[in-house]
Amino acid sequence: MCLSNIHVERARLADVREVLRRQLDSVVRQMNDAHMLKASGIRSREGSPTRPEERHHNQLFRKSLYATSLLHISSEIARALTLMLSVLELHTSNRPRIFFLRPSWMWLGMSPRALVYQAQEEDRGSDEDATADGVGLSRQEAKQGVFQRRDSVLLMTPPIIPTTPVPFRKRIQGIWRNIRSTPLTLQTLSHLIDLPRQTLVRQWNKPNVLTFRVHLSRTVRRVQHSKHARHAIKHAFGITVLAIPNFLPLGSAGRSYFVAQRGVWAIISFIYVLEPNTALTWRVGTMRLCGTVIGAVYAYVAWAICRNNPYGIVIMLTVGEIMLTWLIRSSAPGVGVVASITMPPIIFTPYLGLPHSSVIGLAVLRGAQVSIGIVAAILINHFVFPRHCRVMFLEGMARVLAKQTKLFLHLSQRTLNEAARTRKGMARGAQMDLKLQEMIAREKLLLTQMEHEVSLMPKPTKLYREGTETVQRIADLMSGLRKIRENVPHREAIHQVLQHRQQTISCICIALFTCEHAFRSRQPLPQILPSPRKAFDELRREMMDTIQSAPRATDVAYAIAENEVYDELIDALEQLITITRELFGTNAWLLDGACSIGFGAVGMSGTDTPAGLHSSAASLRRVESFHHGF
């Protein structure tokens, strides 16, 4: 019965989808015909569309985008129904199957949240290692350096003349005769003195030695900038500092303090609190301190009520664990876990007759040692190989913008190049889209962690959040653009407006690259950037003239839906440029000052020519011609 229902619903969906496609054909054709009859060639003298024509274009773009979105949703639902049918058919076949358990770190008690964070850190490793040191060579620089060394070796090496093989003994004899026959002059002595250097340079730049040098350099740099090695060094340094009193001679003040005051609690607290970045260290440290205070207070109250009564101790501990379970299930699970760990040592130490001063002193001692470990973890994480969330966020935003540029170039390559329109290219675009969404999710996670970080300088978290939302909007629009372009007519919407498409793509890529550079280097943007809006207006005007000859109105709908997505993409890109200017400032070459950064003259749009400035009219005319040129 379930299978038959799914078959019926899939057939109904296919019929409705076909009806929608036919209605879209007729509606788009009627709107275009009615507009062409009404307009009857009315245009401005410059060839730009009039206001009624532009209003018609905007309405047509919006309705076409909605209709094509419904078509895409219906196709995705049809795929989902087909997948459900295959799953149900496998389920009803009743064949015996053997399922093997998947090995996972969760078998050892690791939480899924820790696994997600670990996967994010491992995935980010290669990019961070490549950009950790600004002095390091890029891949292209290293490639050119290898080519230069090989060329120098080829110039220093004498030409190889093919001859018959000569025995080694005869070659040595020939070299000796050549040395004896050479006259001893000043030039010969200089060549003889310089011979070891030339031999060393020739051997140092041989191809196999160059390959070994490149691999060794990469290994050394990977070790130098490995976040795992740095985190291990911080762990070892902190534990060593806190454990120094334990290695002092017996009877010394430090050794007596470590044994009597239970200094190992500080080491355990340090290991528990030290996290990969400073924000997580502050968050975990705060939760551990709160959990320690809650557990110590409850343990002292339980001991004051029960004393050495075993039944009372069991009842109070059980009641406390039930209450702490609610904290473990809340958004701050660390508080409940630490409080649950804190109670047993304080309650059972006097019950078991272990040496102690007093219960309240034991509770205070527990809190003091935990505080020492927390302070040590925070100080070491701030001063030894610090990893601040703000720096990680800005570097991650630069990588997101670089990934968006790469994805947009991939989509443009598949659009402009017919040879690149393969199924493998479609799968690669989908993978890049999924990867981009994961990277944006990480930036949102870092932004959330940044709120727990304590710093003297206030951070513009509101602008950071607006930047992530804008980048998310751009990624969603690129995803929609990738799906719409699969049905865009290539002859009318691409080949006949190829030059305008290239200009639009270039302006968008330049804007993305400029924002990426600003986030990576924290430097101000140029005052004037090429305007994607002007290039897109030219593209839209030419495309509306060419798509009238499309054989199907549905193709026209997909083409103008692509224009609507382009329009929203450029709006989001202009908003991103504005946010970047507010964050990092503007290099204002039309103002009196050479550069306006930070609190002065920020937020100026990069595509607007500033008016009312102290500059000559000729320079303003040149700026306007520069804009119209793009």
CB count in 10 Å sphere of residue 500: 18
Same domain? For 372 and 506 the reply is no
Same domain? For 452 and 556 the reply is yes
Residue in the structure block whose two tokens are 């200009």: 503
Range with top average pLDDT, 31-35, 121-125, 126-130, 141-145: 141-145
Lowest-pLDDT range of 161-165, 531-535, 556-560: 161-165
Q: What is the model's pLDDT at position 596?
A: 43
Same domain? For 446 and 546 the reply is yes
Same domain? For 417 and 354 the reply is no
Lowest-pLDDT range of 180-194, 390-404, 509-523: 180-194
Q: What is the model's pLDDT at position 255?
A: 86
At residue 200, φ and ψ (nearest 5 deg) are: -65, -40
Torsion sign (Cα): 66, 67, 70, 76 = negative
- Among the candidates 81, 96, 123, a domain finishes at 81
- Among the candidates 367, 383, 399, a domain finishes at 383
Span 322-378, pLDDT tens digits: 888 888 887 777 888 888 888 888 888 888 887 777 888 888 888 888 899 999 999
- Please report whether residue 500 resides in a domain: yes
Averaged pLDDT, 538-565: 70
Same domain? For 432 and 313 the reply is no
Q: Could you tell me if 443 and 396 are in contact, meaning their C-beta atoms sit under 8 angstroms apart? A: yes
Averaged pLDDT, 187-203: 77
Whether the per-residue pLDDT at 115 is higher than 50: the answer is no
Range with top average pLDDT, 33-47, 217-231, 541-555: 217-231
Span 278-305, pLDDT tens digits: 888 888 888 888 999 999 999 999 988 9
How high is the mean pLDDT of the chain?
75
Q: Could you tell me if 399 and 515 are in contact, meaning their C-beta atoms sit under 8 angstroms apart? A: no
State the burial class of residue 448 (Cβ atoms within 10 Å of its Cβ: 0-12, 13-18, 19+): middle
- Please report whether residue 140 resides in a domain: no
Whether the per-residue pLDDT at 468 is higher than 90: the answer is yes
Whether the per-residue pLDDT at 133 is higher than 50: the answer is no
- Please report whether residue 244 resides in a domain: yes
- Please report whether residue 322 resides in a domain: yes
Euclidean distance between CA atoms 570 and 537, whole angstroms: 11
Cα dihedral 147, 149, 150, 153, rounded to 10, equals 160
58 contacts: CB under 8 Å, gap ≥ 6: none
Same domain? For 347 and 394 the reply is no
Print the domain residue range for 294. Answer: 229-383
- Among the candidates 383, 399, 432, a domain finishes at 383
Same domain? For 345 and 417 the reply is no
Euclidean distance between CA atoms 581 and 597, whole angstroms: 9
- Please report whether residue 210 resides in a domain: no
Same domain? For 449 and 509 the reply is yes
Can you name the residues that pair with 596 across neighbouring β-strands? 586
Averaged pLDDT, 131-138: 51
Q: Could you tell me if 24 and 557 are in contact, meaning their C-beta atoms sit under 8 angstroms apart? A: yes
Torsion sign (Cα): 413, 415, 416, 421 = positive
- Please report whether residue 198 resides in a domain: no
Same domain? For 476 and 521 the reply is yes
Q: What is the model's pLDDT at position 487?
A: 65
Same domain? For 406 and 302 the reply is no
Q: What is the model's pLDDT at position 162?
A: 54
Same domain? For 467 and 497 the reply is yes
Range with top average pLDDT, 26-30, 560-564, 570-574, 595-599: 570-574
Span 3-50, pLDDT tens digits: 677 777 778 877 777 777 777 666 666 655 555 544 444 444 444 455
Q: Could you tell me if 605 and 529 are in contact, meaning their C-beta atoms sit under 8 angstroms apart? A: no
Same domain? For 373 and 469 the reply is no
* Percentage of the chain exceeding pLDDT 90: 15
Q: How many domains does the chain have?
A: 3
Euclidean distance between CA atoms 199 and 178, whole angstroms: 18
Q: List the Cα angle 156/157/162 in 5-degree steps.
A: 155
- Please report whether residue 346 resides in a domain: yes
Torsion sign (Cα): 205, 210, 213, 218 = positive
- Please report whether residue 246 resides in a domain: yes
Helix axes 2-39, 553-584, angle to 10 degrees: 90
Averaged pLDDT, 217-226: 84
Q: Could you tell me if 360 and 257 are in contact, meaning their C-beta atoms sit under 8 angstroms apart? A: no
